[in-house]
Amino acid sequence: MTHEAGAPVAEPIRARIGAAEFDIHLGAGLLNTLGELWAPLAAGSKVLLVSDTNLAAHAARAAGALERAGLAVIPATVAPGETSKTLAEVERLSRLAAAAGLRRADAVVALGGGVVGDLAGFVAASYQRGVRLVHVPTTLLAMVDSAIGGKTGVDIPEGKNYVGAIWQPEMVVMDMETLRTLPARELSCGFAEVIKYGLLDGTPLFERVEAWPELPGPGDELAELIRLCIEHKLRVVAADERDLGIRASLNLGHTVGHGIEAAAGYDRYRHGEAISLGLLAALRIAERECGLDPAWRERTRTVIARHHLPVTLDPAVPTDAIVAAMGRDKKASAGGLNMVGVGAPGDVRLGVNPDPGDVVAAIEELRQ
Amino acid sequence: MTHEAGAPVAEPIRARIGAAEFDIHLGAGLLNTLGELWAPLAAGSKVLLVSDTNLAAHAARAAGALERAGLAVIPATVAPGETSKTLAEVERLSRLAAAAGLRRADAVVALGGGVVGDLAGFVAASYQRGVRLVHVPTTLLAMVDSAIGGKTGVDIPEGKNYVGAIWQPEMVVMDMETLRTLPARELSCGFAEVIKYGLLDGTPLFERVEAWPELPGPGDELAELIRLCIEHKLRVVAADERDLGIRASLNLGHTVGHGIEAAAGYDRYRHGEAISLGLLAALRIAERECGLDPAWRERTRTVIARHHLPVTLDPAVPTDAIVAAMGRDKKASAGGLNMVGVGAPGDVRLGVNPDPGDVVAAIEELRQ
């Protein structure tokens, strides 16, 4: 089904991934209807509601909606930011759930951005070997990316998301109103992934993304743009849930991007910012490896800049540290970096293994 | 295929559980052939070999066999016993693997009893969201039970196996020679689960178990008995991998058994000992709830006693503490204890919810 730009987004998106089937609800004010949307859960069920300390107002609305539906809410908050993605937090949340008597037929609700989704998602995947999960992403990044596809996990000092699971939710609820209170920088970071989908999906989506004004832009149209990104990701994930093939395409811009994040320290660049730089480097490499017309990189650079995302790399982040971190990326193999490239928007190439010198050159070019 | 008693067990058992298909090898001296058996793993692959400090000799043989096949072994040991089943140990082992460069196409080998299998299995399930796993159970309990079916996990103070995953191995290798060095008490504990299979499978297997002499008995026949138990468990798990239905039958004796373990402290009774008492209590309850002929309990009691497993409960373990712990069992629901019963060997009943007074009476009867 297609929606015209500006039309209200009312029908949920039906996701089918492996044996899992669930609805993704997208609209304004949905937090208040969370309990009604969640018909399959019996009244009296317990819900571990995980959010971060910045999200108290949203969490209170969600808790109220769940309680009105007869569910017993166990509230849990974590500190905002990547430092909460630890096994120690998994243990703390699991113990909280156990002490409150959460059982296998009960559920976890992950309300927040990528950090809360990854952490609470892994708690849901592992508590009593797996309980029900509802994702309520409250950032643009989580809506278009991290809440979709079932990847959950926490970090160890040796790497991000090194301990985790693939665990699908039984519902995803996106309340567009949560984006209103999102800091501009967070909104922009989500847009970096939107730009990625434009490059992966093809010229029509790329040009729609390219034409987007400064964020947030018109609300209904933003919901529609989010839907198009989700639908792209769902198609890819449905074909390759366990990330053994085409799902790697979603990593476009992430090989260099993760390298920049790791080398710069996770507070210098946010994920979306590092990915913006990573996309530009990936397109530079794709010009040589996949015959990409350089005009696409210029156009992408213009979109990135419009959304106040970085197009030049901090000189303080050394290239050799970035390259070393890239070699430790989970997607890398003994055979090479296994980067993603495009020959044009929508013409996706996997297993791109450029010469080390070309990788260095692409990173150096980000400094100009 | 059926084997006559005493015939050598040469053909591997082919397991099919969900999308997973793998071989279970069972024979004498197989540790030395571990590398050859594991044909699918490319030379140069890395293997995190997890064992406990009591198993140094077996681990050295396994490491040698893997290295002869061109695999790079990352050795890891944990302290023996349930106290090693923690998220802190998951983190330590994951960091060890990451520091050694273990990647998604590499593997974990779990060599040991139930503790090592549960812990290392969960590391395999969660490291980089899942890597290959080989179980090498070295105890009778692990061979007939914990290494089969994919359950992995660690404990939190609120409950055993409260954080874990269902993760199938890609091979299981059982070397009968590892049973030779097993302490007699450990061997007996495994036999408690063998008795359980007799009750679940039907009169022919029960009578075979009933006729078993003191452990270990004749080697080839023991391998055949193990095979029959594995085949029973595989049938049940294949029908219900995620433990939403018939798989609960494998919990026969475990509701009261887990309650006794928790109430007595995990050092007073080993798992198999608590399960022996739990089986007798479950049969007592089944007499009332499922019409079981009391002669089956008498016969079961005789087998249990022959293998030096307990048939009477330590008076120091209070009944109310056992009952309270039973209510916290993962299998319990708001509706009741969801115990397993039998109307006769092989006639399995699920969802048995006796009156609390009958549960107390069955536990009290264990004191006589």
Per-residue pLDDT tens over the stretch B169-187: 999 999 999 999 999 999 9
Is the backbone peptide bond immediately before A318 cis, with ω within 30 degrees of 0?
no
Tell me, what's the pLDDT at B5? 36
Q: Does B20 score more than 60 pLDDT? A: yes
Q: What is the mean pLDDT of residues A135-140?
A: 98
Region B263-286: mean pLDDT is: 94
User: Strands B347-352 and B339-344, how do they pair?
Assistant: antiparallel
Q: Looking at the predicted structure, is the pLDDT value of residue A1 above 50? A: no
Chain B nearest C-alpha distance from A176 (Å) = 30
pLDDT band at B1 (very low <50, low <70, confident <90, very high): very low
Amino acid at A62: A
Cross-chain CB nearest to B91 (options A87, A95, A127):
A87
Q: Could A165 and B165 be called an inter-chain contact, meaning their C-beta atoms sit closer than 8 Å?
A: yes
Contact A126 B163 (CB under 8 A): yes
* Both structure tokens of A267: 């507070």
Distance CA A64, CA A286 (A): 50
Whole-number Å distance between alpha carbons of B117 and B85: 10
Query: Could you tell me the pLDDT band of residue A2, with boundaries at 50, 70 and 90?
Result: very low
Closest CA to B136 of B37, B221, B235, B45: B37
Structure-token pair, residue B59? 């681990």
pLDDT of residue A3: 36
Tens-digit pLDDT profile for residues A142-184: 999 999 999 999 999 998 999 999 999 999 999 999 999 999 9
Does the pLDDT of residue B2 top 70, yes or no? no
The per-residue pLDDT of chain B, averaged, comes to: 94
pLDDT for A266 equals: 76
Burial A55-85 (b: 16+ CB within 10 A, else e): beebbebbbebbeebebebbbbbbebebebb
The mean of the pLDDT values for chain A is 94
Q: Which residue of B has its CA nearest to A156?
A: B95
Can you tell me the distance from the alpha carbon of A303 to that of A56, in angstroms, rounded to the nearest whole number? 33
H or E stretch at A170:
none
Q: Chain A: give the shortest CA distance to residue B13, in Å.
A: 26
Interface test with A, best of B45, B46, B48, B87 (most A CBs within 10 A): B87
| pLDDT score for B334 | 67
What is the amino acid identity at position A44? G
Instruction: Give the nearest partner residue to A158 out of B98, B166, B333, using CB atoms.
Output: B98
Q: Which residues of A touch B (CB under 8 A)?
A: 44, 87-88, 90-91, 94-95, 98-99, 103-105, 122, 125-130, 151-153, 156-159, 161-166, 242-243, 330, 332-334
Cite the beta strand spans of A44-184 per DSSP E. Answer: 46-52, 72-78, 107-112, 132-137, 151-156, 159-166, 171-175
CA distance A158 to chain B (A): 6
* Count of beta carbons in the 10 Å neighbourhood of residue A86: 19
Q: Do A98 and B127 touch (CB under 8 A)?
A: no
Q: Are B163 and A130 a contacting pair at CB < 8 A?
A: no
Contact yes or no for B151/B202 (Cβ under 8 A): no
Integer Cα distance of A271 and B95 in angstroms: 23
pLDDT at B330: 77
Instruction: Kindly state the tokens that stand for A120.
Output: 């609470």
Considering only the beta carbons, identify the residue of B153, B158, B163 that sits closest to A99: B158
Chain B: closest CA distance from residue A272 (Å): 22
- Chain B residues with beta carbon closer than 8 angstroms to that of A163: 90-91, 94, 126-127
* Of A103, A130, A164, Cβ closest to residue B333: A103
CA–CA separation, A257 vs A330, rounded Å? 13
- Among B108, B162, B237, B337, pick the best mutation site for testing chain A contact (most A Cβ within 10 A): B162
Over range B142-157, report the average pLDDT. 97
- In this structure, the strands spanning A132-137 and A151-156 are unpaired
Q: Among all residues of chain B, which has the CA nearest to that of A96? A: B158
Contacts of B336 (CB under 8 A, 6+ apart): B351, B353
CA dihedral over A88, A92, A93, A97, signed as positive or negative: positive
> Considering only A39-48, A303-312, B62-71, which range has the smallest mean pLDDT?
A39-48
Q: Which of B125, B128, B330 sits opposite A128 (nearest CB)?
A: B330
Between A44, A98, A334, which is nearest B156 by CB? A98
Q: Do A156 and B94 touch (CB under 8 A)?
A: yes
* Interface with A, mutate which of B108, B151, B161, B163 (most A CBs under 10 A): B163
**A25: Cβ contacts below 8 Å, ≥ 6 apart:** A12, A37, A171, A172, A173, A174
Per-residue pLDDT of B93-105, as tens digits, reads 999 999 999 999 9
Q: Which of A36-50, A52-66, B278-292, B312-326 has the lowest mean pLDDT?
A: A36-50
Band of residue B263 on the pLDDT scale cut at 50, 70, 90: very high
Tokens standing for residue A137: 């992403």
Nearest to A73 by CA among A122, A119, A109: A109
**Pairing between β-strand B72-78 and β-strand B151-156 as defined by DSSP bridges:** unpaired
| Interval B259-287 mean pLDDT | 94
How long a stretch of residues is chain A?
Answer: 368
Find tokens 């009477």 and name the residue.
B312
Tokens 């692959």 locate to: B45
pLDDT-derived band of residue A334, with 50, 70 and 90 as boundaries?
A: low
Which chain B residues are Cβ-neighbours of A108 within 8 angstroms? none
A-chain residues near B98 (CB < 8 A): 156, 158-159, 162
pLDDT of residue B47: 97
Interface size between A and B, measured as CB pairs under 8 A: 97
Note the pLDDT tens digit of each residue in B294-336. Answer: 999 999 999 999 999 999 999 999 999 999 999 887 777 767 8
CA atoms within 13 A on the CB side of B362: 29
User: Is the per-residue pLDDT at A286 higher than 90?
Assistant: yes
Is residue B161 a contact partner of residue B330, using CB atoms and an 8 Å limit?
yes
pLDDT recorded at residue B8: 38
Strand partners, A165: A152
Q: Is the pLDDT of residue A327 over 80?
A: yes
pLDDT tens digit string along A224-244? Answer: 999 999 999 999 999 999 999
Q: Which of B91-105, B207-221, B247-261, B342-356 has the lowest mean pLDDT?
A: B207-221
What is the pLDDT, as a whole number, of residue A235?
97
**B225-235, pLDDT tens digit by residue?**
999 999 999 99
Chain A environment of B166 (Cβ under 8 Å): 129-130
pLDDT for res B128? 97
In contact, B277 and B311? CB cutoff 8 Å: yes
